[in-house]
Each structure stands twice: as structure tokens, then as C-alpha cells.
Amino acid sequence: MGTRFRWEKKGLIFAPDGRYEWMQSHAQNPSVLLLNDRLRVYFSCRGKKDGQGRFAALGTFVDLARDNPNEVLYVHDRPLLSLGGPGTFDQFGVMPGCVMHMDKEVWLYYAGWVRCEGVPYNHAIGLMTSSDGGVVFERRGRGPIFGRTLTEPFMQNSPFVMRHDNLFHMWYSSGIEWLEDQGQMESIYVLMKATSADGINWERTGVSCVPRVVENECQTNPTVIELNGRFHMWFCYRWGLDFRNAERGYRIGYAWSEDLRTWHRADELGELTASEAGWDAQMVCYPCVVNIDGRTCMFYSGNYFGRDGFGYAVLNGDERPSSESEA
């Protein structure tokens, strides 16, 4: 058994306070962009519900002090993009997934969603780009770069992209079936892998890449880093049905790989658990792990799918695994 990751929680950073009509609640899927003097954290929020109790989701960001992420320097006053037009894949949701520096631009892969008739929604993956350091974005195109295929007939979302050995690698969540539970259709989804030479045109395997451990397990929001010659993935998972509660809701999972292809799951070695009380006691979800000036930090959302905001934890420096350990 190898070294166990030990996370030290640093507390809640930000939760929407209703200051804008389009940002009434939730801070889901934090994604961190390292800038010279600060951290820019993109996330998804929800606006006011309409007369039928429905909401739209939009992306925005906050800037944090690089040496003290608990210090909020700036809250952006507008969405990154407006909602897509009628019939587009992002008509009702533009949800940030993964941000990265790309030459002189900032690229942000995101999940767009639409409402459906037979099932509640469908997701696909789009790309927005910025030429001013990640403040103003525009769509790469009106359609998604990633959607349903012959072998992946349901939704795709929550992309994480990294460049390694002159290749783009994406891990993402892909639906495998819909199940009915108490009159409501629930999506079941797992993590899959794709590669690309340019970050836009992708080759996909269409197969699950991380083993499942609970009934009808749903997996989403992967994040991958390299430490000491080994690749480490954190993601969140939950039971497929009856999951809107503390017992079966999202938790943080962990897997490791030597080659970015074969993943060995070992939640007990890398997990960050729910707190006994507070903003992350019911749920911990949507991890984003990033190295910041010698520290490895996990930014994550809390209760009720991020309704109570996002915070972060720091990996204890002396607990990082060596390349010889069996993590």
C-alpha cells in the first residue's frame, strides 16, 4: 500500500449572494486559471427560476489572491457568454468545465444543455476562447465540439483537458443509460477518454475508463495532474438513484495511472471526505486539483451540487507519493 493523500481543508471561499439576477445560487464546477498575480476561478451559477420553477445556468468567475485563495479580489459582474439561441446545444445552460492557457489565448471547454421532452435534458461539450486573458469570451462556433455518436448515444459533459507529449487528452462524463425512479428519469454516466492533435477534433474510445464501485454509479468532473512521475485523477461519484441526500450524494473518488490509459481506482488513498457540519457536510463534488507555487490544491463545491458555494483544501507536502509508491 502506498502513501495516502491527506487533504487539509481551508474553508469556504465563495457562494453567490443574489446580487445579480443571473447569479442567484450555486457555484458549481470550479476551474482554476493561474495568472501572474492571482487565481481566476470559473464556475457555473443559476439564475432566478421562471414561473414553472425552471432555471438557466451561466458561467462567470471570481479572482482570488494567489498566495491566499480565501481572499476574494473581484467578482465578475456578467456572464462569460449569453445563452445560446433557439435550438442550439447551449440554449439553457453554459457551464464552465475546464480552462487552460493555449498559446496567446485562454480556452474554456464547457457543457451546454437543452431541455428535452422524453428526458429532462441533454448535454454536449462546447469551446469558448478569450484573447484578453480570460475576461471576455466568444464561442468557437454555434455548435458543440463534442456530442452524441453511434457508440455514445446520450449526453456528454464535464470535460477536463490537458496537453501531454504533444497531444490533447480529454476525460469527460458520458451517459450510458436513463433509468426511471419514482416517475422521474435519471441519467447514468461514466468517465471516458478522448485525444486530439488540435484540441478541437477528437478521437474517442467510447468505453468507461474508471471502475465503478456503487450501484448504478455516476461519475463526473475528472481532474488530472502529474506528481512524481505518476498521473493522479480525482473525480466525483454518486449512487445512480435516490442521490439527493447526504448518504448517496456526491463524494470524491480517486484513481492513478502510469500511462494515462489504464486507471487503478483507490478512493481510500486519495479521497477528500465530507465535513461533520457546514457548507460541505452533505456533499463534496466537482474537484479541480492544481499546483500553485509548490502547493497542490483542490478546489471543490459543497452541499446540494454547489448551492452552498465552493472552497478548497491543500495537500500536505510531506504526504505526496513518490514514483516508487504503490498509490
Amino acid present at 130: S
- For residue 69, the enclosing domain spans 18-316
**pLDDT surpassing 60 at residue 2:** no
Q: Is residue 325 part of a domain?
A: no
* Mean pLDDT value across residues 156-170: 96
Domains held by the chain: number: 1
pLDDT classification of 322: cutoffs 50, 70, 90: very low
The least confident of 33-47, 273-287, 296-310, 313-327 is 313-327
Q: Quick one: average pLDDT of 168-185?
A: 96
Tally DSSP H helices, then E strands, for the chain: 2, 20
Name the pairing type of β-strands 264-265 and 251-257.
antiparallel
103 φ/ψ angles, rounded to the nearest 5 degrees? 55, -120
Determine, yes or no, domain membership for 7: no
What does the pLDDT look like over 137-147, one tens digit per residue? 999 999 999 99
Per DSSP, the three-state class of 23 is strand
Q: In the numeric block, which cell numbers belong to residue 120?
A: 429532462
Distance CA 155, CA 188 (A): 10
Provide, rounded to the nearest whole percent, the portion of the chain with pLDDT above 90: 89
Question: At 282, which CATH number?
Answer: 2.115.10.20
The pLDDT, as a whole number, for residue 317 is 61
d(CA 197, CA 144): 17
In the structure, what pLDDT confidence band is assigned to residue 323 with cuts at 50, 70 and 90?
Answer: very low
- What is the DSSP pairing of strand 230-238 with strand 251-257? antiparallel
Q: What is the pLDDT of residue 3?
A: 64
pTM exceeds 0.85: yes
In a domain, 60, yes or no: yes
**pLDDT tens digits along 3-58:** 689 999 999 999 999 989 999 999 999 999 999 999 999 999 999 888 787 889 99
3 found inside a domain: no
Q: Are strands 68-75 and 93-102 parallel, antiparallel or unpaired?
A: unpaired
